[in-house]
Structure 1
């Protein structure tokens, strides 16, 4: 039934009544009308409506137009006698002729056809407006989805940063545990000198693996300017050996790995120009400790 309703609303029945279908299409409509009573009823209703519309637009010819038309007709004698024997056409009959005149009837049918196309255009235009509105709503929903996706991506990035931070914390903790629990490491405490009596730091030395680590978190060293850095030295057979530079401020690094060395008798830290020096500045020695 839904298909029949769709067929009726498609406009093909109006085109059938208006005579705008091909012979094959007309046969199809007539076949549908014979199979489905509702199609037949709809056809009758359309014909009735268009007929009433044609009557409403019918134009009665004036007396002058009638006289001019009749005056131009020529009859032979037999036709004149026949015409003379027939009563003159009454006004009502003239109206009937006017209504059945083919040319006059074409006008209202064309108007009905025009109205049909107007309604079709209006329906299409309304559908276009609805489609534009739907696209607008869809666009807004898409923008909201993009914003939500951006928020989720930002949240995921924050989560990833937190996970990365925690991984580093775990790695640093494991490193500290490995240093303090490994018997191969020697923990050397460096104490402050006269230049900085309150300073102190801890050096973990593993001669077996040639590793030197300094404890950055438990270190207590005075802050320095941006043009200087601290430099770690190892005393090897009475000679200072450079083990690298570091900053005295607290960092994310818990244990900082310095340059490798396999033996040492003592460690010391001096304050040097940024980047370090070839030889230690003894006048700026901050801490020192023997193994």
Structure 2
């Protein structure tokens, strides 16, 4: 057999473990002196025995294995406290694991960042949609108010400020055919907390007030344009400041605006 077949035959392992008889043992000893490949393979086997457990030589007793291993340690000048160096494969395994964790962590951060950006975009989209909806509603309300103001069938009643608030003013748009009433309260101050403006349709002789609604949500109505209940008959209109929920009859001391129809 050639040299490689000889190395792979297992005879060198038996040589290292001392399991060969003379003259075969002496023959391999002589070969190792003259052949570098044989010598290196023997050294490699000896170092493997030092680094691994007795399971590599199941045909030896534990006692004999330890004797051989101790002898090899002395031969290679290795103390029993010395630990075998981990193979490069182990280092590569740890490196791969660390790189994997870094990669997974990076992907997680990237994913969370993308999720955060998507949520931000969705929030901004919702805000924009709400703004568009609100603007569309405002435009419709403005168009409706303009249509009322421009409708020649509406009677416009100018209401002037009274003693409690001389600078106040308002307007009533009253359609005598449909009886619909709309109030422009731009000239009224914001009511105090817990108070509300109440609109009255008045008959003057005798003075008979009829409530036709409250100007609720005064703060929220930026146009200050309100639709109240219909007025069947009216000779004048007045607006008073009343407790929240309104009053059954007007508080004349809190009459803000008044105008004849």
> In the TM superposition, what is the alpha-carbon distance from 1:121 to its structure 2 partner?
5.5
Q: 1:278 is matched with which residue? A: 248
> In the TM superposition, what is the alpha-carbon distance from 1:152 to its structure 2 partner?
0.9
Report 1:246-257 matches (<5 A). Answer: 246=215, 251-257=221-227
1:226 aligns with 2:226: no
SS at match of 1:260: coil
> In the TM superposition, what is the alpha-carbon distance from 1:190 to its structure 2 partner?
0.6
Q: 1:108 is matched with which residue? A: 45
1:146 equivalent among 115, 119, 125:
115
The 1-side partners of 2:24 and 2:190 are apart by: 126
Report 1:161-172 matches (<5 A). Answer: 161-172=130-141
The 2-side partners of 1:146 and 1:90 are apart by: 74
1:95 aligns with 2:29: yes
Gap regions ≥5 residues in structure 2: 34-40, 53-86
Q: 1:14 is matched with which residue? A: none
SS at match of 2:171: strand
Q: 1:260 is matched with which residue? A: 230
* Conservation of the 8 A alpha-carbon contact between 1:232 and 1:244: yes
Number of positions where the alignment pairs a residue of Structure 1 with one of Structure 2: 211
1:155 aligns with 2:138: no
* Conservation of the 8 A alpha-carbon contact between 1:208 and 1:262: no
Q: 2:36 is matched with which residue? A: none
* Conservation of the 8 A alpha-carbon contact between 2:199 and 2:214: yes
**Larger fraction in helix:** 1
Cα deviation per residue 1:200-240 (whole Å; 9 max; x = unaligned)? 10111123333211113xx2224442132221100247521
The 2-side partners of 1:200 and 1:177 are apart by: 19
> In the TM superposition, what is the alpha-carbon distance from 1:60 to its structure 2 partner?
9.3
SS at match of 1:280: coil
Pick closer, same or farther for the CA change 1:129–1:94 going to 2, 3 Å.
closer
SS at match of 1:187: strand
- Most deviating of 122-131 and 154-163: 122-131
> In the TM superposition, what is the alpha-carbon distance from 1:197 to its structure 2 partner?
2.2
The 2-side partners of 1:55 and 1:94 are apart by: 8
Q: 1:181 is matched with which residue? A: 150
SS at match of 2:201: strand
Gap regions ≥5 residues in structure 1: 1-46, 71-88
Pick closer, same or farther for the CA change 1:93–1:201 going to 2, 3 Å.
same
